[in-house]
Structure 1
Amino acid sequence: MGWNNILLEKEDNLAVMTINRPKVLNALNGETLRELDEAVEQIAADDEVRVVIITGAGEKAFVAGADIAFMQTLTPLEARQFSRLGQKVFSKIENLPQPVIAAINGFALGGGCELAMACDIRIASENAKLGQPEVNLGIIAGFGGTQRLPRLVNPGLAKEILFTADMYDAEAAHRIGLVNHVVPAAELMNFCKNMARRIAARGPIAVRLSKEAVNEGLEMDLEKAIAHEADLFAVAFATEDRNEGISAFLAKKKPEFKNK
């Protein structure tokens, strides 16, 4: 499928999705979000894809935010529709069956930080900058940032980030738990692809069930969450991959998972 603002490439069991608007630092407008939605739907339906990497085109930005020029003329009703579109697409990314790694190769501000937070794992290059600067424009984060940020860092720190519009470099973002790792810019994609390949080599159904257990369990109290875990544990035992994994372990050989 041809898109104006999104590139989607497959490498074996990996999919690499690139926001491709480098002239505007990959800022998100309505068209880009709709194309991203289509790309995510395509990935969700592709059983060959076991891990997804999302990044931005160029060397300056992952996604510098929502497209401010696009937002300038929005009415309050249109702004709500734009917010709901972004929320819908980012929730789809968060709930993809496959793990999603954000390769943060520069500015991840506003909607870009929100996109990164919708991913499962965040890897930042040393030149990355993260933050939620919306209050500088007299608006608030609208693509889920006010909700995902306090779930990733503590609520008090999330409020500080949202209220001050301060920008965090990669090391500071790592210290507060907003990113998992910081690597040199030249090594970012190789680092992400190596991690993706390690994940892809594991039992794919087990990986998906692990993601489901974490995502859904976070919205439950502990008693319900561990009961849900037990249900998913039982689901794993109904798969051919479970038989292969345990048999291979006992035979001291490498398992050959078939995603069944």
Structure 2
Amino acid sequence: MSETTGGAVADGQADGSAEQLLTEVRGRALHVTFNRPEARNAMTFAMYQGLADACARVDADPDLRVLVLRGAGGRAFVAGTDIAQFRGFTGADGVEYEKTIDEILGALAAVQKPVIAVIDGHCVGGGLGIASCADIRIASERASFSVPIAKTLGNTLSVNTLRRLVRAFGEPRTTSMLLMARRVDAQEALLSGFLTEVAEDLDEAAERVIEQVAGGAPLTQWSIKENLRRLNAAGGEVDDSDVVSTVYGSEDFAGAVEAFLTKGSREWTGT
């Protein structure tokens, strides 16, 4: 099954902005493509809203098991936020902007199903923020990662975005990336644990990883994501009894136990 829509803004706009963010259902995955290759997929505010809408869509559809993020054109995943949108900004505008980005990245990080980022080319600024919210990240050898704001715009990051980068890369590496405007290549990102795989054939690797994730037990995947979210939010002891009860009390678990003992077949339903 395949369905493609322009997800960033309403269809029919003369400026073509409806095609800046594309969504397509392929099998059990919702694919989101950042589609401004002429601007290295720099994000407009409409694209950010389209991303938030895609998060809600994948959670609402029981037939969808995975959210996949990718940039068009091969030069970039996302090269940050479109700088033209910062013209005339005040301090209050900056606070509101960072608050909005926090909300959208928070929605992406809170998606109940696995999120896979497929990264080819530059992953910069806001793009790195988006990628840091994914659960699994694979990349091409030419991928690179940076937040060069100390030599470009002279802006800053919210504490929430900074926290995500520290979790993804570790504090020493994040600090050097930000203070030195340092670029991390694919191999360093792999060694740091940020990437799961650096692939020679990114398309083949992406399909393999998507299929592997989509075939997993949905409630197991949800429970891991939910407990990690709680652990990161609390920083201490976490009550996970409701999560554990939901999984062990599910039809999926009971059916899988029976199938294992009887050598029968089973199909995950997420219930």
Instruction: Provide TM-score, normalisation by structure 1.
Output: 0.92
Q: How does 1:24-173 map to 2 (within 5 A)?
A: 24-136=39-151, 137-142=153-158, 144-173=160-189
Q: How does 1:237-256 map to 2 (within 5 A)?
A: 237-256=248-267
Deviation, 1:152, is 2.0
Instruction: Provide TM-score, normalisation by structure 2.
Output: 0.88
Deviation, 1:142, is 4.4
Q: Which has the higher contact order (CA 8 A, sep 6+)?
A: 1
**Residue in 1 that maps onto 2:12:** none
Read off the aligned partner of 1:238 and give its amino acid letter: G
In 1, Cα distance between equivalents of 2:206 and 2:265 = 23
In 1, Cα distance between equivalents of 2:37 and 2:266 = 42
Read off the aligned partner of 2:170 and give its amino acid letter: N
1:235 has 2:251 as partner: no
Equivalent pairs, count: 255
Deviation, 1:221, is 4.2
In 2, Cα distance between equivalents of 1:131 and 1:141 = 13
**Tell me, what secondary structure is at the counterpart of 2:150?**
helix
In 1, Cα distance between equivalents of 2:136 and 2:256 = 25
The answer for unaligned runs of 5 or more in structure 2 is: 8-17
**Residue in 2 that maps onto 1:16:** 31
**Residue in 1 that maps onto 2:215:** 201
In 2, Cα distance between equivalents of 1:204 and 1:69 = 41
Read off the aligned partner of 1:147 and give its amino acid letter: R
In 2, Cα distance between equivalents of 1:115 and 1:31 = 15
The answer for unaligned runs of 5 or more in structure 1 is: none
Task: State the identity %.
Answer: 28
Are 1:52 and 1:99, in contact at CA under 8 Å, matched by a contact in 2?
yes
The one-character-per-residue Cα deviations of 1:167-212 (angstroms, maximum 9, x if unpaired) are 111011112222221112xx22331222121122122122111211
In 1, Cα distance between equivalents of 2:53 and 2:245 = 33
